[in-house]
Amino acid sequence: SAVISQKPSRDICQRGTSLTIQCQVDSQVTMMFWYRQQPGQSLTLIATANQGSEATYESGFVIDKFPISRPNLTFSTLTVSNMSPEDSSIYLCSARGGEKLFFGSGTQLSVL
Amino acid sequence: AQKVTQAQTEISVVEKEDVTLDCVYETRDTTYYLFWYKQPPSGELVFLIRRNSFDEQNEISGRYSWNFQKSTSSFNFTITASQVVDSAVYFCALRRWTDKLIFGTGTRLQVFP
């Protein structure tokens, strides 16, 4: 199994600012993903973080708003840019370990 | 279209009761995977089970059991003798041949002492 550390665990940010969320996996993984969980909602895939190349974004999500980096097989970052209150959500990193998909503990973001 | 439906938004039971969480999925793929995750109040997603489309054998793990029926496109989850620690939101999810998970809307289970 893979252990995923995500930080910060929570943050309160001002409108118009940006926040970078870090995700560290304790072993090399082929696939890493970023999900968003809006209050009381299910999880929605934002993008697949590709090692050494640009992330693959899902419909409704764009690189300018959610730039993602993945410099190696164990680390990725997600930036939420120019935040608005609508960005208040839990952001979760996940990684594929074998046939299982593991998740970090999430970053609870509140935008004022 | 790929879709996962968890019709039960919230279930409340008293400790030691058995409870079944329903999951119905839609896919045209012949190869796919089904998952259940638990999200306790702390927020992390805990992997519970993965089942592939070729394996309809039901599974039991302690107080947990899963009933996979392709004929009805269902993958239901039963907790036997529920405990307060089972209180959480439970998500059913579908994965196609890619690695993208499609989640249901979740069922919030509250177990009262």
Pairing of β A56-57 and β A10-13: unpaired
Token pair for A103: 């998740």
Residue in chain A closest to B34 (alpha carbons) equals A100
Rounded mean pLDDT, B52-66 = 88
**Quick one: pLDDT at residue B65?**
93
pLDDT-derived band at A51 (thresholds 50, 70, 90) equals: confident
Q: Do A42 and B37 touch (CB under 8 A)?
A: no
**Quick one: pLDDT at residue A4?**
92
Q: Give the C-alpha separation, A85 to B56, whole Å.
A: 44
pLDDT-derived band at B90 (thresholds 50, 70, 90) equals: very high
Q: Give the C-alpha separation, A17 to B53, whole Å.
A: 45
Token pair for A61: 């999500």
Q: In chain B, which residues have their Cβ closer than 8 Å to the Cβ of A94?
A: 45, 101
B100 has a chain A CB within 8 A of its CB? yes
Residue B85: CA count within 13 A, CB half-sphere: 1
B91 has a chain A CB within 8 A of its CB? yes
CA distance to partner chain A, nearest, from residue B16 (Å):
27
Rounded mean pLDDT, A38-62 = 91
In the numeric block, the tokens 């993008």 are attached to: A47
**Quick one: pLDDT at residue B43?**
82
**Quick one: pLDDT at residue A96?**
85
Q: Regarding predicted confidence, which is higher, B84 or B100?
A: B84
Rounded mean pLDDT, A11-34 = 94
CB-based contact B44:B26 (threshold 8 Å): no
The answer, yes or no, to whether residue A99 has pLDDT greater than 90, is no
Rounded mean pLDDT, B20-26 = 97
Q: Do A99 and B43 touch (CB under 8 A)?
A: no
**What count of CB pairs under 8 Å joins A to B?**
47
Q: Do B101 and A43 touch (CB under 8 A)?
A: yes
A96 has a chain B CB within 8 A of its CB? yes
